[in-house]
Amino acid sequence: MRTNPIIYASITLTVLFTVAGQLLVKYGMTQVGSSSMQASRLTKHLWVTLTNPCVFLGFACAFIAAMTWTVAIARAQLSFAYPFVGLGIVLTLVFSSLLFGDKVSFQRWMGVALVCLGLIVVARSK
């Protein structure tokens, strides 16, 4: 199966919407806060969570990512497309550090470097 611009665009959009969705849900949950998991408060907390604009947009991004992913895997071999999902992990880690001040250890950065190296190998393989 030959790769074409639609495949790359679909994979790119999948990764971008996945990362955006993760970041939006995280930001929305910083606004909502955590719940004590008491049954009497759980329903209200769930409603507040699902109606938070950032959480809602994050879920919408996840849905769009799922749709663009279906386009990607309909046109590309899964063994080619799926490793690029790792790029979402890399970008989420980078942006969570920048936007939320998450502390990222040296070992995690090394893992990110390995994922990036693997993506380069996959992208160049035929």
The length of the chain is 126
Specify the pLDDT at position 4: 87
Specify the pLDDT at position 3: 63
Q: Are 84 and 15 in contact (CB under 8 A)?
A: yes
Q: Following DSSP, what letter does each residue of 1-67 receive, concatenated? A: ----HHHHHHHHHHHHHHHHHHHHHHHHHHHH------HHHHHHHHHHHHHSHHHHHHHHHHHHHHH
pTM here?
0.86
- Domains held by the chain: number: 1
Torsional class of 37: left (φ above 0), alpha (ψ -120 to 50), beta (otherwise):
left
Specify the pLDDT at position 2: 58
Q: How confident is the model over 70-99, as pLDDT tens digits? A: 999 999 998 888 888 889 999 999 999 999
Q: Are 91 and 19 in contact (CB under 8 A)?
A: yes
Q: Which of the residues in the chain have pLDDT under 70?
A: 1-3, 36-37, 126
Q: Which domain holds residue 77?
A: 5-124
Specify the pLDDT at position 93: 92
For 90, how many CA atoms within 13 A lie in the half-sphere containing its CB?
16
